């Protein structure tokens, strides 16, 4: 087994490799003056099962191209099997045509990894599970739910209401709630433009005088969660907590959160931590054990779904 890390989140790859008792295969990454990338693997990959880790955080296009180049390098170095490990898969929100003359960019990203030479893809909490169908080989969709629910149970017991920020997140929220034994509430919203959210409809569920935990797959510019938290407080919520897998925190997320009704935010370390001082209070839960267990199961040709009791099938 070999693990190769791109430059977007090397700390995560190092932690996973350490958990597995191996060291990273040093990828010597260089940039030409015009921005082109070049790499050379530091050691032989001939006959190896190679896992190339790269989370698609900002700058997303650079992260994607770098991972494709690393995959191509491993393929040309005669690696036996290449797995693209993408804790956060870039462009996952563009998984369908919502209007005319639009691309399906998530499919394009999968095609890029395929053509580069990936035999398998691993990702965590895809925006929609249907993205797995864009890849013709094995696609392991890991879920952070066991890690996050254990953390929530330890921190809050079952004395809270789990809130879905929109109708599309209801199924995932129901799974979370079932594992924790708590009630759920649902917020209806309309989205007039990208990254602009306007809550127009009411909240389904009882939130008055209760701790409300909003569950989402990612926090980008924080428009959704800030609007949702305002509605929850308006309906009498005691406090509002947000839990999400991917904490992107793109500008102006920090400013919005600082001015919002949100009392606490919990994310995983699928992307590097933000250096925004407005986000210094964000709690980070590690998914290193989850990734290491999945990589070990793939390497040993064991079931990945068994690690999640089948709850990763979506």
Q: What is the pLDDT along the chain (314 residues), one digit of tens a residue?
A: 999 999 999 999 999 999 999 999 999 999 999 999 999 999 999 999 999 999 999 999 999 999 999 999 999 999 999 999 999 999 999 999 989 999 999 999 999 999 999 999 999 999 999 999 999 999 999 999 999 999 999 999 989 999 999 888 899 999 999 999 999 999 976 655 666 555 455 688 999 999 999 999 999 999 989 999 999 999 999 999 999 999 999 999 999 999 999 999 999 999 999 999 999 999 999 999 999 999 999 999 999 999 887 677 65
Predicted local confidence at residue 188, as pLDDT? 78
β-pairing verdict for 37-41 and 161-164: unpaired
Find the angle CA(293)-CA(314)-CA(164) to the nearest 5 degrees: 105
Predicted local confidence at residue 167, as pLDDT? 83
Contacts of 293 (CB under 8 A, 6+ apart): 307
Instruction: Domains for the chain: give ranges and CATH numbers.
Output: 2-144+289-308 (3.40.50.2020), 145-286 (3.40.50.2020)
| Active site annotation includes 189 | yes
Which of 75, 189, 200, 234 is the catalytic position?
189
**Residue 292, SS3 per DSSP:** helix
Torsion angle (degrees, nearest 10) of CA 200, 201, 207, 211 = -40
Helix (H) / strand (E) element for 40: namely strand 37-41
Predicted local confidence at residue 199, as pLDDT? 46
Of 309, 300, 295, give the one whose Cα is nearest residue 140: 295
């Amino acid at each position: 087994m070999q693990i190769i890390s791109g430059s977007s989140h090397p700390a995560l790859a190092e932690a996973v490799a350490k958990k597995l008792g191996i060291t990273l295969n040093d990828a010597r990454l260089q940039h030409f003056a015009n921005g082109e990338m070049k790499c050379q693997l530091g050691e032989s990959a001939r006959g190896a099962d190679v896992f190339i880790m790269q989370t698609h955080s900002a700058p997303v296009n650079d992260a994607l191209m770098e991972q494709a180049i690393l995959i191509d390098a491993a393929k040309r170095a005669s690696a036996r099997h290449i797995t693209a490990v993408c804790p956060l898969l870039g462009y996952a929100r563009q998984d369908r045509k919502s209007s005319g003359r639009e691309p399906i960019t998530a499919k394009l990203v999968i095609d890029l990894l395929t053509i580069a030479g990936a035999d398998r893809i691993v990702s965590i909490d895809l925006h929609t599970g249907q993205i797995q169908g864009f890849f013709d080989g094995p696609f392991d969709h890991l879920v952070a739910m066991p890690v996050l629910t254990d953390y929530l149970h330890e921190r809050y017991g079952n004395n809270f209401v789990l809130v879905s920020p929109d109708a599309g997140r209801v199924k995932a929220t129901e799974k979370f709630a079932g594992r924790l034994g708590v009630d759920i509430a649902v917020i209806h919203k309309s989205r007039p433009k990208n990254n602009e959210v306007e809550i127009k409809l009411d909240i389904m569920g009882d939130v008055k005088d209760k701790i409300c935990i909003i569950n989402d797959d990612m926090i980008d510019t924080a428009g959704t969660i800030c609007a949702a938290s305002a509605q929850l407080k308006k309906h009498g919520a005691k406090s509002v907590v947000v839990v999400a897998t991917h904490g992107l925190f793109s500008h102006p997320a920090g400013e919005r959160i600082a001015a919002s009704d949100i009392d606490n935010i919990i994310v995983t370390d699928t992307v590097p931590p933000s250096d925004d001082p407005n986000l210094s209070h964000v709690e980070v839960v590690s998914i290193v054990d989850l990734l290491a267990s999945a990589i070990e199961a793939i390497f040993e040709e064991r079931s990945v779904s068994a690690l999640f009791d089948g709850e990763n099938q979506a």
